Amino acid sequence: MLFRRAAVIVVAVLALAAPAYAQTWDLSTVTCQKFLGYDKDTVNILLAWIDAYYRGENDPPVIDLKKYLANAKELGDYCRAHPDVSLITATDTLFEKK
């Protein structure tokens, strides 16, 4: 629970640091191709959300940068190979929900 709060705070800070335009992402409609085309800030926000979403409820509130970057690379590789797959399908395939 504490990790989820920390993740929400991180995402909120990243969102506030982003350009001053309101934007929403319906991740059920985002394809891998669209994800790969987003700007760096947007990709980082979504990767932070994905990292938090696929953690176990009782996982400690620790961001393992090595694992985070490895997962980001794995997702990027998968999305480049499967551009028409939805982002959620890709992440569900790679990072099974605990």
Cβ-count burial 24-43 (b if 16+ within 10 Å, e if not): eeeeeebbbeebeeeeeeeb
Domain chopping of the chain, boundaries: 2-94
pLDDT tens column, 31-83? 999 999 999 999 999 999 999 999 888 888 888 899 999 999 999 999 999 99
Angstrom distance (rounded) from CA 43 to CA 53: 15
pLDDT at 69: 93
How many other CB atoms are found less than 10 A from the CB of residue 1?
8
Chain centre to alpha carbon of residue 79: 13
pTM: 0.73
Whether pLDDT at 23 is above 90:
no
Angstrom distance (rounded) from CA 59 to CA 57: 6
pLDDT at 10: 58
**Alpha-carbon separation of residue 71 from 8, 18, 36, 60, 90 (angstroms):** 19, 23, 14, 18, 12
Output 92 or 5, whichever has higher pLDDT: 92
pLDDT tens column, 85-94? 999 999 999 9
DSSP class of 94: H
CATH no. of 2-94:
1.10.890.10
